[in-house]
């Protein structure tokens, strides 16, 4: 009902607002993706899966959870950061990708 309508409108506004702002500001001129569309879709699905598996988003755990001294959030944030560091190391140094 009404609850669903405003939620869908909010989500649509997030995407549409960002796209329109980037388009009219000229921020998208000359921007090219370094990954193919299938890779971006898989990456998005993996982020969603990780968010579900981790019980929340990285910023939620990092900002709200740590400020509450939640052990679960502290552990989750350490794992998120370590995973990111390992991923960057593998992609840049072992696979030779990136700058």
Q: How many degrees, rounded to 5, is the angle at CA 78 between CA 73 and CA 84? A: 125
pLDDT of residue 53: 81
Q: Say yes or no to pLDDT of 98 above 70.
A: no
Whole-angstrom distance, CA of residue 75 vs CA of residue 62:
10
Mean pLDDT for 17-25 is 90
Average predicted confidence (pLDDT) for the chain: 86
Q: Is pTM beyond 0.85 here? A: no
| Buried/exposed 44-55: b ≥16 CB within 10 Å, e otherwise | eeeeeeeeeebe
In sequence order, what are the residues at sequence separation of 6 or more whose Cβ sits closer than 8 angstroms to the Cβ of residue 55? 61, 72, 76
């Amino acid at each position: 009902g009404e609850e669903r309508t405003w939620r869908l409108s909010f989500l649509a506004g997030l995407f549409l607002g960002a796209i329109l702002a980037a388009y009219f500001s000229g921020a998208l001129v000359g921007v090219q993706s370094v990954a193919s569309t299938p890779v971006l879709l898989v990456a998005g699905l993996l982020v969603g899966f990780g968010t579900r598996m981790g019980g929340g988003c990285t910023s939620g755990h990092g900002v709200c959870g740590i400020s509450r001294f939640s052990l679960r959030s502290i552990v989750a944030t350490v794992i998120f950061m370590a995973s990111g560091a390992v991923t960057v190391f593998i992609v840049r140094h072992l696979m030779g990708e990136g700058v």
